[in-house]
């Protein structure tokens, strides 16, 4: 019988290790549990079990994300509320779990982006959050402009820029549809499900030729409507749709890659 913390806790909860990993997420010294989770029958008990088993500072119940600023609907179940630091691929991300969201499930997408960018590129991240895409990319490109509208997320974007020495990252507080520049970017990342509303603006920010990576929700097994929708845009020469992760029983989180050429 295995005695690592996940095995012990899974046995106590009466679930498999795979189910445990699906429903419980750790960010630094905090653990987030889905509040609609069928395993959370008695919050206090689960909170204390997690705190002691994983040597955590805090356990939170999570019920979803609110409004366009993506503020987590979250409640402290056990422990003390504090900032946490998540380390991924040698990069530190500091955040307050009660104020900002952290998309751990986008790790593969982040790896893909850091592989495809070029040293001489100027990139724009229109929805930067705390820098989850922007900071790793900043080490691979000439410059990345990282725009964020929520002052709480922007605060951590600045801290994370400094903490990781991301010198090529230019942080901008405000609405990414009002950037007072044109034709300056080789590549644009649009990591928000409302991104489609900002595509016309993104096309203005792009140089004569460039790439756009637009995040969207799509019906599982049928991405054809996205190929049609984005293929119709003027200047969009090629469209590719890639799955990032499963979002719900019927929908996937996808990225629409667009090659743009303005003639």
Ligand X SMILES: C[S@@+](CC[C@H](N)C(=O)[O-])C[C@H]1O[C@@H](n2cnc3c(N)ncnc32)[C@H](O)[C@@H]1O
The nearer residue to ligand X, 9 or 159, going by C-beta atoms, is 159
Nearest residue to ligand X, using CB? 129
Nearer to ligand X, 47 or 191 (CB): 191
73 binds ligand X (CB under 6 A): no
Interface residue with ligand X, options 46, 60, 62, 133 (CB under 6 A): 133
Which H helix or E strand runs over 88? Answer: strand 84-88
The residue count of the chain comes to: 263
User: Residue 83: is it exposed, middle or buried by C-beta count within 10 angstroms (0-12/13-18/19+)?
Assistant: middle
CA distances from 156 to 100, 134, 173, 229, 243 (A): 9, 12, 12, 35, 28
Looking at the Cβ atoms of 78 and 160, the one nearer to ligand X is 160
Q: How far is 140 from 151, CA to CA, in rounded Å?
A: 26
Q: Exactly one of 117, 123, 149, 203 binds ligand X (CB under 6 A); which one?
A: 149
Confirm or reject binding of residue 69 to ligand X (CB under 6 A): yes
Q: Contact between 191 and ligand X (CB under 6 A)?
A: yes
Question: In terms of DSSP H, where are the helices of 84-223?
Answer: 107-116, 134-138, 151-164, 199-205
One character per residue 93-112, x = contact with ligand X (rule: CB under 6 A)? ----------x--x------
- Which residues of the shown chain bind ligand X in the complex (CB under 6 A)? 68-70, 103, 106, 127, 129, 132-133, 147-150, 153, 175-177, 191-192
């Amino acid at each position: 019988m295995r005695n690592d913390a996940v095995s012990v806790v899974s046995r106590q909860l009466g679930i498999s290790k795979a189910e445990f990993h699906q429903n419980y997420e750790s960010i630094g010294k905090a653990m987030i549990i889905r509040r609609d989770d069928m395993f959370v029958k008695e919050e206090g008990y689960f909170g204390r079990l997690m705190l002691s088993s994983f040597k955590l500072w805090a356990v939170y119940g999570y019920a979803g994300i609110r409004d366009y600023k993506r503020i987590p609907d979250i409640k402290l179940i056990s422990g003390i509320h504090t900032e946490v630091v998540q380390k991924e691929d040698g990069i530190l991300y500091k955040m307050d779990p009660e104020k900002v969201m952290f998309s751990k499930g986008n790790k593969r997408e982040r790896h893909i982006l850091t592989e495809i960018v070029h040293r001489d590129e100027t990139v724009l991240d229109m929805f930067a959050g705390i820098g989850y895409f922007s900071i790793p990319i900043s080490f691979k490109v000439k410059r990345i402009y990282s725009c964020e509208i929520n002052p709480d997320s922007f605060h951590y974007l600045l801290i994370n820029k400094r903490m990781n020495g991301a010198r090529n990252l230019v942080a901008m507080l405000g609405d990414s549809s009002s950037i007072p520049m044109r034709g300056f970017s080789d590549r644009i990342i649009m990591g928000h499900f409302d991104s489609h509303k900002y595509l016309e603006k993104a096309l203005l920010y792009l140089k004569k030729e460039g790439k756009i990576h637009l995040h969207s929700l799509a019906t599982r097994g049928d991405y054809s409507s996205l190929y049609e929708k984005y293929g119709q845009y003027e200047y969009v020469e090629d469209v590719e749709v890639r799955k990032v992760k499963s979002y719900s029983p019927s929908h996937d989180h996808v990225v629409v890659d667009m090659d743009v050429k303005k003639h």
